[in-house]
Amino acid sequence: MLSPTTIALATSAALLLGSALLPTRAAPPSGAVNQPPALEQWGFDPSILVADSRELLVRAPDGAIDRLFQAVHASTRTPAQSQALCALFDPAADRSLAGLNEIAGRFEPAQQEQFATAIAQLFVAAMQSPPQPYDPSTARQALKAAGVRAALVNDGFVAGLNGADHDARCRSIGWLLDEVRTRPLQERAAVTRLLLGEGLDHVAAGVGGQAGGRPR
């Protein structure tokens, strides 16, 4: 059973894909009655952070992890949401709780709901499950392989992923997630655990270094 402190961590298990995203609502119109953010409506306190969030990632079954990945991937399908997501992976991004809320607030209501649902299901599943099989080394190799595949079919993938240009980096992140999405559930879940636990900035150099450039 997870400790109450771990259960209280609504944010850090879900706020990473390089850190990842906290679902929230857009600012209400002037004069509207304030409503709690999406996570608070689910009964989680997004202001509480604890250090052992990786326990949630290890305990959550592959299906729950994958639902969160699918929500992240879906946000890359429209330009506005893709730009909001990719802002988290810029070197100078504000990954504080306020910064994450501000970025996620640009999402369309349906996408915010998808994130809230995926995160809530992840928490519930993690609390009810024993630790799942997970090998970080295998996950890292799978992520590097996805980077290789992305580089082979997308010109500029490596330069975009490791460069400072926001639009190019955003495009490369989308290509990488596209490749991860094609893999079997177990592999997708392993890579997602790696990204949620370590962040894309931490592993991007390894992905780019293995991928190289597209052959000419």
pLDDT score at 200: 61
Looking at the structure, tell me whether residues 56 and 142 fall in a common domain.
no
88 vs 94: CA distance, rounded Å: 7
Mean pLDDT comparison of 74-78, 152-156, 171-175, highest-scoring range: 152-156
Looking at the structure, tell me whether residues 118 and 149 fall in a common domain.
no
Q: Give residue-wise pLDDT tens across range 201-212.
A: 555 555 655 665
Q: Is the pLDDT of residue 79 over 70?
A: yes
Looking at the structure, tell me whether residues 20 and 107 fall in a common domain.
yes
214 vs 155: CA distance, rounded Å: 6
Q: Is residue 199 very low, low, confident or very high in pLDDT (cuts 50, 70, 90)?
A: low
Looking at the structure, tell me whether residues 140 and 120 fall in a common domain.
no
pLDDT score at 126: 84
Looking at the structure, tell me whether residues 92 and 179 fall in a common domain.
no
Tell whether 216 is covered by a domain. no
Judge contact between 206 and 144, C-beta under 8 A: yes
Q: Is the pLDDT of residue 29 over 60?
A: no
Looking at the structure, tell me whether residues 118 and 162 fall in a common domain.
no
Domains contained in the chain, number? 2
Tell whether 50 is covered by a domain. yes
pTM for the model stands at: 0.68
Q: Give residue-wise pLDDT tens across range 122-141.
A: 878 888 889 999 999 999 99
